[in-house]
Amino acid sequence: MYIKTWNKQDPLRAVTISILSLIVSCGYLIHLAERKHPLDCSDASGAFSSISNCMWLVIITISTVGYGDLSTVTVLGRLISLLTAFIGLMISATLIGIVQERLTLSDDEFKVIQVLEEENRMKQYQEQALQCVEAFLKIYVRKYRLVKKKVPYSYN
């Protein structure tokens, strides 16, 4: 329950802290699982001997890029990598949900937009009606002037 309210109150901080804690914790766990197993990379000393390389693997795994420059060798390392991938997917889905929630209008906001659109439509109708009345009056006045000029005599 606490995570949900924290996620609602400050979602950017919640996602950022989740990602950073995942990178550090899983990077350290991969470092512990893989540090004694050298890899067949250009670096013969073993790529997992430094925590920064392990964190790089976690970042690439979370983002689902998967360059292939690093991969775990031990079963425990592979399980941690798999767990990291699943947690990364959950964090990505959470982030997508947060963005969707922020961009979706509430019912009240939607009603306000409808009222504003209706007011604009009514103003446009009134302006068009006014233009029609003005055009009718111009035609009527022209016609009345022509009729008035054609009358040869007056009733006085």
Instruction: Provide the CATH topology of domain 2-103.
Output: Helix Hairpins (1.10.287)
Please state, in angstroms and rounded to a whole number, the distance separating the CA atoms of residues 54 and 16: 19
Structure tokens at 130: 């006014």
The pLDDT confidence band at residue 54, using thresholds 50, 70 and 90, is confident
Whose CA is closest to 72, among 108, 34, 123? 34
pLDDT at 45: 52
Domain spans in the chain, listed from the N-terminal domain onward: 2-103, 105-156
Please state, in angstroms and rounded to a whole number, the distance separating the CA atoms of residues 81 and 61: 7
Query: Rounded to the nearest 10 degrees, how much is the dihedral formed by the CA atoms of 31, 34, 35, 39?
Result: -120
pLDDT higher than threshold 50 for residue 42: no
pLDDT at 7: 66
pLDDT higher than threshold 80 for residue 150: no
Please state, in angstroms and rounded to a whole number, the distance separating the CA atoms of residues 87 and 84: 5
pTM exceeds cut of 0.75: no
pLDDT at 44: 45
pLDDT higher than threshold 80 for residue 104: yes
pLDDT at 126: 93
